[in-house]
Amino acid sequence: MQHETLAAFGAALYRLRAARRWSLRRAAREAGVCVTTVMRAEQGRSVGLAQAMGLAGAYGTTVGALLDGAEGRT
């Protein structure tokens, strides 16, 4: 992903986590990843596809929906 795409993906993840009032630890547990991965993703840094899918899935959405800006809304 390009820098702008990573930043948008991270911002979307942060908004979803904040809306649920989840801690980083809770988000990591729900996604099946480590806290560092949640932090990296939210900061717009690169994470693996499986990790990105786990993060999106924790919020009931898909990587594609987050990249499209849909954030799980259909």
pLDDT tens string 45-58: 999 999 999 999 99
Yes or no: is domain 3-65 CATH 1.10.3720.10? no
Q: Where are the domains of the chain?
A: 3-65
Alpha carbon dihedral 25, 26, 27, 33, in 10-degree steps, equals: 60
Side chain identity at residue 41, one-letter code: A
Q: What is the largest CA-CA distance in the chain?
A: 30
pLDDT at 45: 95
pLDDT in tens, 10-46: 999 999 999 999 999 999 999 999 999 999 999 999 9
Query: CB of 24 within 8 A of CB of 39?
Result: yes
Helices (H), the chain: 3-20, 24-31, 35-42, 49-58, 63-68
